[in-house]
Each structure stands twice: as structure tokens, then as C-alpha cells.
Amino acid sequence: MTYYKCLYQSPLGPLSLIATDKGLRGIWFEDQKYFERGVTETPIMVEHPILKQATLLLDAYFAGQAVDLSLLSLDLSATPFQKAVWQFLQEIPCGQTVTYGQIAKSLGILSGQAVGGAVGKNPISILIPCHRVVGRKGQLTGYAGGIEKKRWLLAHEALMKKEEEDVSIL
């Protein structure tokens, strides 16, 4: 399998984007846990249509615009349980949070810890918004990119949501 890579300069630091011909494989902060997990060969640094599309989505997100991930092909290496959790993450509205327990209950499983394990291995940082998952009492917990990045992303989305509400009032 051939992997393609580009670096993206985000407001939170460099991101590594990797794709295959089937779709986006991952977006990782350079210093995060599970960095480029599952990439088994050295990626080629080259322009690729999937990477270009992913960078456009990141540009839109950081510019405060809504992002529709369904427009992007994904090539995720995951268990069915992980895929179910990651699908749930994509349904959390921008600017809102849910707890691990709420996800577990919605998916009909007993373990919020199992959900936490799947959330933590999400390879598509930011666009599959695992940063929107918080602890039982609303506290910020585990984020592979670091709690400060999670705090920044949630504050960014709160501002996006406020601006959206202000526009809808007009």
C-alpha cells in the first residue's frame, strides 16, 4: 500500500496528514500519542487530491466555518466497535460536548472506558471531533494531542457557535 503525506500548519502547531488512494488515513499532531499509528510504510511527501481536500476542510474549520466530513473519503483501519464510536463522534454538533458514558449508553454498551479507548485511538484529529468528549462531570479529560489543544478547540467552537447564533438573529 502506498501512503501519501503532507504537513499542515494549524494554529495549534503542525499536523501530519496521511492518505492512501482509498481515502484519508489520519490527521495527527506531531507530538501526540499514537502518532501515525497504523501507517506501515514510509509515506511519500507529495500533493494528492485527498490530502488537498482534507487541507481545505481544515482551512474551513480554522476559519470558523462548518465542515462536512461526508465529502471526504476515509480509509480507516479499525474494529467495528471503533468505527461505531468514531461515527458517533461525527454526529456531535459543533460547539457541544458529550460524555464517554453518554456515548456508551447511546451505543448500548456498559463501558464508558471501552468508549474512551476507542475515542483515544481516533486517527482523524479535529475532523472526527474526539475533542468534544468530556468526563462524567464535564471535566476535560484525555486528548491524544494534549489537554491545552482540546481546550483551544472547544473555545474555538464556542466562538463559532456564538457567531452562528449572532448571524441567525439578524
User: For residue 14, what is its C-alpha cell?
Assistant: 503542525
Residue-wise over 88-101: b if at least 16 C-beta within 10 A, else e?
Answer: bbeebebbebbbbb
Residue 39 in contact with residue 26, Cβ under 8 Å?
Answer: yes
Q: How far apart are CA 1 and CA 101, in angstroms?
A: 37
Residue-wise over 1-37: b if at least 16 C-beta within 10 A, else e?
Answer: eebbbbebebebeebbbbbbeeebbbbbbeebeeebe
- Which residue in 130, 133, 134, 154 is the catalytic one? 130
In the residue annotation, 130 being an active-site residue is answered as yes
For the annotated catalytic residues, the residue numbers are: 130
